[in-house]
Amino acid sequence: MNLGVEVKGEDVVILVMDNGIGIAPKNHELIFESFRQVDGTSTRRYGGSGLGLSIAKKFVEVHGGEIWVESIEGAGSTFGFRLPRRAPTQEFSEGDE
């Protein structure tokens, strides 16, 4: 696994790269949904509840950023997120989506 950090203008971009099994393009958006995994069967090889990426997405978006994945099956994935270096001007309160 590799980690990259870059300052781009008023943003910070973080990239996490692996050389794992990769994710088909049709599943890129699915993996950011709560309780969703590419392989939802009971015999899947990799564990987890399917919450990690959905929590990360909400956290990044609440802070005014965006998250994404770039991946090729069999060749690994790069997960990236962009956050503004300054706090968003909109205040967040409980109950905001």
Asked if 65 contacts 40 with a C-beta cutoff of 8 angstroms, the reply is no
State whether residue 71 is helix, strand or coil: strand
Domain map (residue ranges) of the chain: 34-70
pLDDT digits (tens, 9 = 90+) for 3-46: 999 999 999 999 999 998 899 889 888 888 877 665 544 444 55
**What pLDDT, in 10s, does the model give residues 45-87?**
555 666 889 999 999 999 999 999 999 998 999 999 999 998 6
Q: Who's near 65: CB < 8 A, 6+ residues apart?
A: 11, 81, 82, 83, 84
- What does the block give as tokens for 89? 């001007």
